[in-house]
Amino acid sequence: MLTFKDWPLTRFALLSVGVAITTMAIKSTAYALTKSVGLLSDALESLANLSAALMAVRILTLVAKPPDEDHAYGHTKAEYFSSLFEGSMILVAAASIVVTAVRRLHYP
Ligand SMILES: [Zn+2]
């Protein structure tokens, strides 16, 4: 069983999830109050951070598993999937921000 004491990296990832949720809540509230597209972009970017943090928690838990029959050298390479996922989320957030900004330019 994985514990925080053995794997502090997972604890940091969980802390990151908490911070991402808090940040997203603050930015979403600010957007709801102001309708500022800048704050909406920030909130979308926080969503990418939250997804990446959740993925990091999952992957770090997997990485902690000892080598098994299918993975004789352990599971550390799974971290690359976490990085790939975070990069993809940043691209999705960037595309959403561009779409929102262009739409707002046409219909202010
Ligand atoms: Zn395995």
pLDDT tens for each residue of 67-100: 999 999 999 899 898 899 989 988 988 898 899 8
Tell which residue, 87, 100, 105, has the closest CA to residue 39. 100
**Is the pLDDT reported for residue 2 higher than 60?**
no
Determine the distance separating the centroid of ligand 1 and the alpha carbon of 86, expressed in angstroms: 22
Determine the distance separating the centroid of ligand 1 and the alpha carbon of 1, expressed in angstroms: 15
Structure token pair of residue 58: 């999952």
Determine the distance separating the centroid of ligand 1 and the alpha carbon of 72, expressed in angstroms: 8
Structure token pair of residue 81: 């999937």
Neighbours of 22 (CB within 10 A): 11
pLDDT at 30: 92
DSSP H helices, 35-65, are 37-63
**Is the pLDDT reported for residue 11 higher than 60?**
yes
Determine the distance separating the centroid of ligand 1 and the alpha carbon of 63, expressed in angstroms: 9
Torsion of CA 43, 18, 66, 73, to 10 degrees: 30
Structure token pair of residue 10: 């997972």
Give the side-chain half-sphere CA count within 13 A for 1.
1
39: left (phi over 0), alpha (psi -120 to 50) or beta: alpha
Determine the distance separating the centroid of ligand 1 and the alpha carbon of 90, expressed in angstroms: 28
